[in-house]
């Protein structure tokens, strides 16, 4: 029997890769502090500088009622080597945000120094008694807008695993999944920006790329598939 069996019963083991949460941001900003990206665009942008010197992957929840409830679809955050860009669709509201930043291994060869993130106000950073989301497989692939339907197989346990996918929608910028072409309200540079659509089955990720300035140019897509629980 493989020592890797019954992984879901293991709260924690250093044998399994976990997400590296390098930034936790929560705060607020008034819509008046945002900037419309371009005339005719839908996205208003709030910029938060970071010190990582390269992009990180961002998950975002946004509130417009003072933090009583959070909308999982109401904002999108991408990053470059200097900033996080929190994008919303209305500059008349006041926003409360939660952004979780995850490190991207091998984004480039720099391997920069980053601050140690001790959670002083919230107790221990880590406790082996707790369960941590364990990564089954993660990798990066290169795509072009002419890649068409791309199948990325993975060897799971036959169930529909949870996952996270993010990509370079523009050079030097890491975005969550965006898709929709001219009707995509989160697309602020339709001439140059790539989009990726995806669905995950029990054995593969199906990715479809579109957009981009040139079919010859390529961009990177990172994916992580998690062990169940």
Q: By the criterion CB under 8 A, which residues form the site for other proteins? A: 14-22, 24, 26, 59-61, 68-76, 98, 100, 103, 105-106, 111-119, 121-123, 125-127, 130-133, 160-165, 176-180, 184, 186, 197-201, 206, 229
Structure tokens at 122: 């919230």
CA 198, CA 36: separation in Å to the nearest integer?
28
| Burial tier of 86 (Cβ tally within 10 Å: 0-12, 13-18, 19+) | buried
User: Which residue number, 93 or 98, has a Cβ lying nearer to other proteins?
Assistant: 98
> Phi then psi for 165, rounded to 5 degrees?
-135, 135
The DSSP code sequence of 14-43 is TTS-B--EEEEEEEEEEGGG-EESSTT---
CB of 33 vs other proteins, minimal distance in Å: 20
User: Which residue number, 2 or 69, has a Cβ lying nearer to other proteins?
Assistant: 69
User: Which residue number, 216 or 227, has a Cβ lying nearer to other proteins?
Assistant: 227
CB of 127 vs other proteins, minimal distance in Å: 8
Bridge partners of residue 78, in order along the sequence: 85
CB of 78 vs other proteins, minimal distance in Å: 11
CB of 216 vs other proteins, minimal distance in Å: 25
């Amino acid at each position: 029997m493989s020592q890797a069996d019954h992984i879901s019963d293991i709260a924690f083991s250093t044998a399994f890769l976990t997400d590296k949460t390098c930034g936790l941001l929560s705060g607020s900003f008034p819509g008046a502090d945002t900037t419309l990206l371009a005339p005719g665009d839908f996205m208003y942008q709030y910029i938060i500088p970071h010190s990582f010197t390269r992009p990180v992957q961002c998950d975002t929840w946004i509130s417009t009622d003072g933090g009583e409830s959070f909308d999982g679809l109401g904002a999108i955050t991408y990053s470059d080597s200097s900033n996080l860009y929190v994008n919303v669709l209305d500059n008349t509201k006041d926003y409360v945000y939660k952004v979780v930043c995850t490190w991207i291994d091998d984004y480039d060869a720099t391997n920069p120094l980053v601050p140690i993130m001790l959670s002083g106000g919230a107790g221990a950073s880590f406790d082996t008694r707790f369960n941590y989301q364990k990564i089954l497989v993660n990798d990066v692939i290169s795509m072009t807008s002419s890649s068409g339907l791309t199948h990325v197989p993975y060897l799971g346990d036959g169930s529909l695993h949870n996952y996270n996918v993010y990509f370079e929608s523009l050079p030097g910028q890491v975005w969550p999944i965006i898709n929709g072409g001219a009707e995509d309200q989160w697309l602020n540079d339709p001439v140059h920006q790539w989009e990726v659509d995806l669905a995950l089955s029990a054995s593969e990720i199906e990715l479809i790329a579109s957009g981009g300035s040139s079919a010859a140019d390529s961009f990177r897509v990172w994916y992580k598939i998690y062990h169940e629980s």
